[in-house]
Chain A
Amino acid sequence: MKPQEIKQNPREYLSFTLGDEEYGIDILAVQEIRGYDAVTRVPDAPEYIKGLVNLRGTIAPVVDLRIRFKLGNAEYDHLTVMIVLNIGGRIVGIVVDSVCDVVPLLPEQIAPAPEFGASFDSSYLQGLANVNDRMLILMDIDKLLHSAELALYAPAESQDLPQMMAAA
């Protein structure tokens, strides 16, 4: 195998829509895609954290990106889709309007993200790609979910043993 062939391996992105915009995230972060149901509300959580779900024994939070980024209507029905992500061992579900496609992209197809008026801070963007004349916004999902702004995790990232009652 020649070196340039290795370099040119495309990365795959999962694309989904929030309102009218189309976003992409690294497919390696995606654990599964499932319907949205039976979320348990948690007290003192911002509106976009819908609550907790049981994913085969793991209790994970669900974030509705539509609410967070004020895109589209946050309606929930049997068509509502949740993408379950595993980012560094942390499991989280994100609610989106629909999942579109898996898009392979070569690095040169990705343009750097401009400081543009997207619905969120451009530091969570990896870049933009043009796919079949549609603009795909590539999201740095890892950075976004761990951002202090989203307040999904405790600032200190303390990790207790799962079986322990949390100490007061």
Chain B
Amino acid sequence: MAIDLARFHQAFFEEGFERVDAMEQGLLQLEGGANNAETVNDIFRAAHSIKGGAATFGFTAVAEFTHHVETLLDSIRNGSRGVDDALVSLLLRSSDQVRALLTAARDGGQADAELSARLQHELQQALHPDSSDADSAIPVPDEVSHAVAGSQAAPGEAGWRIRFAPHADLFASGNDPLRIFGALAELGRLDVVARHPGDLPGFSSLDPVQCLTAWDLVLHGSSSLDSVREMFAWVEDECDLQIEPLRAATVAEPSAKVVPIHAPAAAASAAPASAATAPANAAKSRAHADSSIRVSTDKIDGLINLVGELVITQASLTQYTQGLDPLVHERLLAAVQQLEHTARLLQESVMSTRMLPIDSVFSRFPRMVHDLAARLDKQVKLQTIGEGTELDKSVIERIGDPLTHLVRNCIDHGIESPQDRSAAGKPAHGTLTLTAAHQGGQIVIEVIDDGRGLSRSRIIAKARSNGLAISDNASDAEVFNLIFAPGFSTASEVTDVSGRGVGMDVVRRNIEQLGGEVELKSVEGSGTTVRIRLPLTLAIIDGMFIDVGGETFVVPLNGVIESLQPLPEQIKRVAGQGMVLKVRDEYMPMISAHDLYRVPGAAKPPHQAIAVVLEAEGCKLALLVDELIGQQQAVIKSLEAHYRRVFGVAGATILGDGRVALIVDVTEVVRNCGRALAA
């Protein structure tokens, strides 16, 4: 039976990358010379595991390189080598290379072999600072020679005579002489003669689990000495063993004469030492031994779909039973209510399986901050708060880039050089804080630095030079809001970190696309805080259900500012360009949902319709609809799974009666329809 190892590759790579991340995180904790034994052990284990898996699944380059990393880590672990920042840096670079090698192995590409060799050299130098390369060469892993040893040894032509006298406690190691004989018999014809010692204890004092028998074995055939010894490898230390060629004279190999192996009491002395440390280890780490299983997101999404269905069915049941007489149908109505309750709980708990701690995003920053600060000659301390805060996988996947951007900005522009900080009476190292917390069904993430803060006057000057009108009396919020305008940057120097036009507009757009919002607070000289609010999930939205010519649409509530019935004098028609709505002192473009979605039939006159004011990316747009139906949660489903993208439509949901309703893509509608008119 041949088993194709390729079927395990995906799992290997998944965990390989996880382990490299773990190595990296552990290494960053070691920075500053803190040699925490547990951390070192974790890093070692991660490297060890990558090496073992890579060797098993045939990724030799990964296995070989990681072996060198592991060897160095082992020397740190057993205390024969200390840790300093240079070593941590080397190990960080090496873990990058492990990642590169893994990536190359996964994608069938090539990693930089020269870099591997160079790092390997450095690793060896770090291990044996005094030695040259030659004598620090890592021995070929024993197992390789092991596997071929059997075929290399000269065969004993006629067989072997084996004297096998197990120690009395052989059984206590789970070994059984009979199994060994069975295995030997597969090598050739085996004669077995049992010998009993003369001093057998009396029957009453006989211990049945002691092995008091010895055996004389004769193995016929041409099997090699190594293959015979291999059979006894596990019991070498628990027996007296002699193997000699059946006809010694005919065998030339000198080593094949007699192989006496006797176990000293080493076993007994080794045990207590390791036993002492073990229980402490186990107890300590049991705290984070939360057992978990890996489930593919497809399965979870399948579950979410089914629960969504259930909730819809339950909603229609509730609807159908609404008109029933509560006196006559008391029990039915109670059951429907119970169903509603259970369905909601079920939905919540299924949704929670997609929730991941934000740590999976935060964890990328220690390394990034470390590297960036080093490159810019700044000192930055990163602290994270609330990294256990959970949010939906879909949000996690898309929050990384905007956050990365903000963190880069902070280090690049926010935090000053150590000299400037000292001159300003601040500690030389700046502090960057990332926080996450749940707040009223949303997650709030803050990126806080204690750097130079935003300069109001510089922003105003820059805005004016960009042709933006801003009054000197504008509020701080209004001024800081300019940062989010496209192409706006106040950095007086362009650095290679954030580049030109820092792109806070992109950050804001990304976050708004996730249905979130971003705001900024800053005090010049003492720092900046960027606060991001996000929905916990993208799978369910709070929706405003609207009617357009008998068709139902859903507008995500977080894109809706207000809705109103416009008076005729609020509506202005701009020749050839459409309508404008005046709300209080503000003018905004207005379009009819009938036109937008090409709904058949005539639209109501605007002043009889309802205007829903939408906002995205700082722009407003009024959407004329026939009626508001109500507010409700909606499970978002993709159109693209089985159809194509449709302009102005973010997805679809299923109504209580089983029909499909389209969800308005507020950002897309505002951006395209609003701008067309404004231009």
Name A residues whose Cβ lies closer than 8 Å to a Cβ of B.
38, 40-45, 51-54, 56-61, 90-92, 151-154, 158-168
Give bound CA distance, A43 to B551, whole Å.
11
Contact assessment for B551 and A59 in the assembled complex, using a CB-CB cutoff below 8 Å: no
Contact assessment for A165 and B515 in the assembled complex, using a CB-CB cutoff below 8 Å: yes
Contact assessment for B636 and A163 in the assembled complex, using a CB-CB cutoff below 8 Å: yes
Most buried by B among A40, A56, A159: A40
**Chain A residues whose C-beta falls within 8 Å of the C-beta of B539 in the assembled complex:** 163
**Chain B residues whose C-beta falls within 8 Å of the C-beta of A58 in the assembled complex:** 305, 641-642
Give bound CA distance, A153 to B638, whole Å.
13
**Chain A residues whose C-beta falls within 8 Å of the C-beta of B641 in the assembled complex:** 58-59, 159-160, 162
Most buried by B among A57, A158, A163: A163
Contact assessment for A61 and B659 in the assembled complex, using a CB-CB cutoff below 8 Å: no
**Chain A residues whose C-beta falls within 8 Å of the C-beta of B392 in the assembled complex:** 163
Contact assessment for B638 and A60 in the assembled complex, using a CB-CB cutoff below 8 Å: no
Contact assessment for A59 and B637 in the assembled complex, using a CB-CB cutoff below 8 Å: yes
Asked if B671 CB lies within 8 Å of chain A CBs, one says yes
Give bound CA distance, A167 to B654, whole Å.
20
Asked if B647 CB lies within 8 Å of chain A CBs, one says yes
Pick from A44, A158, A166: contact of B598, CB under 8 Å: A44
Give bound CA distance, A92 to B661, whole Å.
17
Pick from B551, B643, B648: contact of A61, CB under 8 Å: B643
**Chain B residues whose C-beta falls within 8 Å of the C-beta of A42 in the assembled complex:** 643, 646, 649, 662
Pick from A51, A54, A152, A163: contact of B304, CB under 8 Å: A163
Given contacts A40-B660, A61-B643, contact A162 B654 (CB under 8 A): no
Give bound CA distance, A59 to B650, whole Å.
13
**Chain B residues whose C-beta falls within 8 Å of the C-beta of A159 in the assembled complex:** 640-641
Q: How large is the interface on B (under 10, 10 to 19, 20 to 34, 35 or more residues)?
A: 35 or more
Given contacts A56-B309, A163-B304, contact A40 B642 (CB under 8 A): no
Asked if B665 CB lies within 8 Å of chain A CBs, one says yes
Contact assessment for B309 and A59 in the assembled complex, using a CB-CB cutoff below 8 Å: no
Contact assessment for B644 and A152 in the assembled complex, using a CB-CB cutoff below 8 Å: yes
Per-residue 0/1 for B537-581: is the Cβ within 8 Å of any A Cβ (1 yes, 0 no)?
111000000000001000000000000000000000000000000
Given contacts A41-B551, A154-B645, contact A54 B394 (CB under 8 A): no
Given contacts A163-B638, A164-B394, A166-B650, contact A154 B644 (CB under 8 A): yes
Contact assessment for A165 and B513 in the assembled complex, using a CB-CB cutoff below 8 Å: yes
Give bound CA distance, A163 to B551, whole Å.
23
Known: A163-B392, A165-B538. 10 other contacts (CB 8 A): A40-B662, A42-B643, A43-B646, A44-B598, A52-B660, A57-B654, A153-B643, A154-B644, A160-B638, A166-B639
Given contacts A54-B659, A57-B654, A168-B671, contact A162 B637 (CB under 8 A): yes
Contact assessment for B598 and A165 in the assembled complex, using a CB-CB cutoff below 8 Å: no
Question: Do most interface residues of chain A lie in helix, strand or loop, or is the interface mixed?
Answer: loop
Contact assessment for B305 and A162 in the assembled complex, using a CB-CB cutoff below 8 Å: yes
**Chain A residues whose C-beta falls within 8 Å of the C-beta of B657 in the assembled complex:** 38
5 CB < 8 A contacts A-B:
A40-B662, A41-B551, A42-B643, A51-B660, A163-B538
Give bound CA distance, A52 to B551, whole Å.
13
**Chain A residues whose C-beta falls within 8 Å of the C-beta of B647 in the assembled complex:** 43-44
Give bound CA distance, A76 to B657, whole Å.
20
Give bound CA distance, A53 to B652, whole Å.
11
Total A-B residue contacts, Cβ distance less than 8 Å: 124
Per-residue 0/1 for B344-388: is the Cβ within 8 Å of any A Cβ (1 yes, 0 no)?
000000000000000000000000000000000000000000000
Pick from B515, B638, B663, B665: contact of A161, CB under 8 Å: B638
Residue of A whose beta carbon sits closest to that of B659: A38
Contact assessment for A166 and B660 in the assembled complex, using a CB-CB cutoff below 8 Å: no
Give bound CA distance, A160 to B662, whole Å.
17
Contact assessment for B642 and A158 in the assembled complex, using a CB-CB cutoff below 8 Å: no
Asked if B674 CB lies within 8 Å of chain A CBs, one says no
Give bound CA distance, A167 to B616, whole Å.
13
Given contacts A59-B637, A59-B652, contact A164 B538 (CB under 8 A): yes
Contact assessment for A163 and B640 in the assembled complex, using a CB-CB cutoff below 8 Å: no
Given contacts A40-B551, A166-B651, contact A90 B642 (CB under 8 A): yes
Taking the nearest CB of chain A, how far is it from the CB of B594, in angstroms? Answer: 11
Given contacts A40-B551, A164-B394, contact A54 B660 (CB under 8 A): yes
**Chain B residues whose C-beta falls within 8 Å of the C-beta of A162 in the assembled complex:** 301, 305, 637-638, 641
Give bound CA distance, A94 to B515, whole Å.
36
Contact assessment for B513 and A59 in the assembled complex, using a CB-CB cutoff below 8 Å: no
Contact assessment for B660 and A158 in the assembled complex, using a CB-CB cutoff below 8 Å: no
**Chain B residues whose C-beta falls within 8 Å of the C-beta of A90 in the assembled complex:** 642
Asked if B237 CB lies within 8 Å of chain A CBs, one says no
Per-residue 0/1 for B268-309: is the Cβ within 8 Å of any A Cβ (1 yes, 0 no)?
000000000000000000000000000000000100111011
**Chain A residues whose C-beta falls within 8 Å of the C-beta of B308 in the assembled complex:** 57
**Chain B residues whose C-beta falls within 8 Å of the C-beta of A38 in the assembled complex:** 657-660
Asked if B667 CB lies within 8 Å of chain A CBs, one says yes
Give bound CA distance, A92 to B638, whole Å.
14
Give bound CA distance, A164 to B539, whole Å.
7
Contact assessment for B640 and A158 in the assembled complex, using a CB-CB cutoff below 8 Å: yes
**Chain A residues whose C-beta falls within 8 Å of the C-beta of B651 in the assembled complex:** 165-166
Residue of B whose beta carbon sits closest to that of A166: B650
Contact assessment for B394 and A60 in the assembled complex, using a CB-CB cutoff below 8 Å: no
Pick from A51, A56, A165: contact of B636, CB under 8 Å: A165
Residue of B whose beta carbon sits closest to that of A90: B642
Contact assessment for B643 and A59 in the assembled complex, using a CB-CB cutoff below 8 Å: yes
